[in-house]
Amino acid sequence: MDEMGSLRRSRRGKENKEPYFGTYHHSTSTASRKIRIVVKAMFADAFAFLPFGRDEELMILDVGCGLGFLSCVSAEFYKNSRITGIDTFKHASLKRSSLQKAKENARILGFSNRIKFKKGDVFGFTPTEKFDIIVSNLVIHNFGKKRFEAYSRISSWAQTGSFFVIGDLFFSPKTDMAELAKAFKMVKQIKPKSGFRHYALLVMSKVKPTKKKYIRNAEKVGKSSKINHDM
């Protein structure tokens, strides 16, 4: 089962080696691979919706990159993008995570020249540039109430016209949407057809909304454009 799907063997060089993206907490190796196949399709749908060409030289940040799965998905979709992946590489939500393994995965898939991984967390990361796209998958729910601070910090790394694409478990969706609406406008929501309860992928644009818009954006989340995927 190939999690990277459309990547051809030729891109992986002469060696016949597969990347290893780990096993999620409370999951199995097989189930984790199945999840990533669906997640990749969902993020591809989200990327296709954004107003960027696939050959544009975009700056992308992967928050909580783990072993680099989403960084590699981003690099595959946006052919000339530069991706920065940050992670502590210690969290129990992804077994056997490490900076070296993430780098090895990028090397196997031929993305080493466009992906840079750094040790760090969302609360201490201080980039010197703004990003065109910020992505994250199955990370921020682990922060508990500190996720609201994480949303604020992520917003500070974007600029008007940037996009935040987050796939996560939303146990209190109204609360999260209200917080996110302080800095972002909801433009699309993608849900799996079945399984993976509470999971949703949100596509949001960076804006400077008024207080009235905070409430309106949060209320509209249920009416946003939706696509369903099997999971």
Fold entry, domain 23-229: Rossmann fold (3.40.50)
Question: For 52, left (φ over 0), alpha (ψ -120 to 50), or beta?
Answer: beta
The continuous run of DSSP H or E covering 216 comes out as helix 211-220
Helix (H, G, I), strand (E, B) or coil at 231: coil
Instruction: Locate 94 and state its tokens.
Output: 């992804």
Closest CA to 168 of 182, 154, 183: 154
**For position 162, what pLDDT does the model report?**
97
Instruction: Please state, in angstroms and as integers, the Cα–Cα distance from residue 231 to each residue in 21, 59, 192, following that order.
Output: 18, 29, 6
CA 52 from chain center: how many Å?
17
Which residues lie below 8 Å from residue 38, measured CB to CB, with a gap of 6+? Answer: 192, 196, 229, 230, 231
127 vs 111: CA distance, rounded Å: 21
**For position 178, what pLDDT does the model report?**
95
**For position 218, what pLDDT does the model report?**
43
**For position 231, what pLDDT does the model report?**
56
Question: Please, what are the averages of pLDDT over each run of 10 residues along the chain (231 residues)?
Answer: 55 69 86 93 97 98 96 98 95 77 96 97 95 97 96 96 97 95 94 85 83 45 53 56
**For position 195, what pLDDT does the model report?**
72
The continuous run of DSSP H or E covering 47 comes out as helix 29-49
